Amino acid sequence: MAERRIGIVMHGVTGRMGTNQHLVRSILEIRRQGGIALKDGVRLMPDPVLVGRNADKVRALAAKHGIERWSTDLGKALENRDDTVFFDAASTQLRPRLLKQAIRAGKHVYCEKPVSTTLAEAIDLYRAAKRAKVKHGVVQDKLWLPGLLKLARLKERRFFGRILSVRGEFGYWVFEGDAARGQPPAQRPSWNYRAKDGGGIILDMLCHWRYVLDNLFGEVKAVSCLGATHIPYRWDEEGRRYRASADDAAYATFRLAGGAIAHFNSSWTVRVRRDDLLTLQVDGTKGSAVAGLRKCFVQSCEQTPKPVWNPDIPQPIDFYAGWDEVPDEGHDNAFKLQWELFLKHVAGEGPFRWGLLEGAKGVQLAELGLKSWKTRKWIDIPRLKA
């Protein structure tokens, strides 16, 4: 079968997301499955060149996965006209500069979220890509999680009736990393907890909630957000104690177009007693659903129990009964599914609506969430112009 190569400069792939989700579970997996089928039967085959600042790390990563091409020289990598796509999963603060450089070099660009730490930079990037007429995309992985795909289908077939509210519970306990107290090392990078390094759960998670809500339940119209830094000190990758200057929990309420109310708790300081690390409960006039990353359970109006408040007897209702599981339709990695759509789009096949303007909307919600917290006010979300 005919093969068509698509060269990708991959930057920041020695990091957590870059290695696991983007290199191994997306690009290498697409290569392993023999590329992406295009309409004319040709297979689109990604050919990555790994780029990073630490030669030892990049070389080792390339060797481990049998990738021939790697470099520490981004400028030179961007000069290669045979590599038409630039991807970035490095630290958020670097991203606007790197993407601009890639756009100037004529590359199509794809990147992790948030696209930047400020809305002004995010909009500037979108305009630069538009002017240069390059194709662009931003990771919005949660949209391709099996649990959320099930919610989308329930909504399409009008299972919920009128949607009243959406409750999101996201989070888990991230260890402080204090070895002296016998703790394991933290399971997330330390920059996540330092404001000056682009950390903070509001910036990290509100951009996810923006595209989840906009795409599934109605455009976000207003936000009220309360942040907190519950844990004041943590221990970094070298075991050094540092002050956690960024928010590690956010309690945010959103008003959506169409009238639904959404409330999301996002926290790295919560212990999990729920079905998954992210659960979304959707309540509508005709039925409700609770989705995790993969599974989804529904309760129709007919199945809904009729509880009566009585603390003097043991609870007679099993509230976990009366929910049906939505059947699985197979799992594929959410990042990989979005990569496939982006690469096809670059190859001239299919639309791709998750671009830099959508990415900017996420940064906008995070920025206004932070403002709401600081000013203790509800904030309206202005519509961003294309």
Task: Give me the residues that bind ligand NAD (CB under 6 A), please.
Answer: 12, 14-18, 52-53, 89-92, 94, 112-114, 139, 141, 189, 191, 204
Q: Which is nearer to ligand NAD, 141 or 176 (CB)?
A: 141
- CB-nearer residue toward ligand NAD: 52 or 177: 52
Q: How far is the CB of 140 from ligand NAD (least distance, A)?
A: 8
Give whichever of 139 and 379 is closer to ligand NAD, judged by the CB atom: 139
Q: Which is nearer to ligand NAD, 89 or 379 (CB)?
A: 89
Q: Measured between alpha carbons, how far is residue 115 from residues 1, 38, 97, 127, 269 in Å?
A: 37, 29, 11, 13, 25
> How far apart are CB 323 and ligand NAD at their closest, in Å?
27
Residue 27: CB minimum distance to ligand NAD, A: 15
Q: Whole-angstrom Cα distance, residue 293 to residue 288?
A: 17
**Would you say 262 and 165 are in contact if contact means Cβ atoms under 8 Å apart?**
yes
Q: How far is the CB of 168 from ligand NAD (least distance, A)?
A: 14
Please, which residue, 114 or 177, has the CB nearer to ligand NAD? 114
Query: Can you tell me the distance from the alpha carbon of 32 to that of 24, in angstroms, rounded to the nearest whole number?
Result: 10
List phi, psi (to 5°) of 241: -75, 135
- Of 374, 293, 369, 362, residue with least CA distance to 92: 362
User: Smallest distance, Å, CB 237 to ligand NAD?
Assistant: 9
Closer CB to ligand NAD, 113 or 194, in the complex? 113
The C-alpha atoms of residue 307 and residue 304 are separated, in whole angstroms, by 9
What is the CA angle 82-73-69, rounded to 5? Answer: 50
Separation of alpha carbons 57 and 64, rounded Å: 10
Instruction: Name the CA radius of gyration of the chain, rounded.
Output: 22
Nearest residue relative to ligand NAD (C-beta): 15
Smallest separation (angstroms) from ligand NAD to the CB of 206: 12
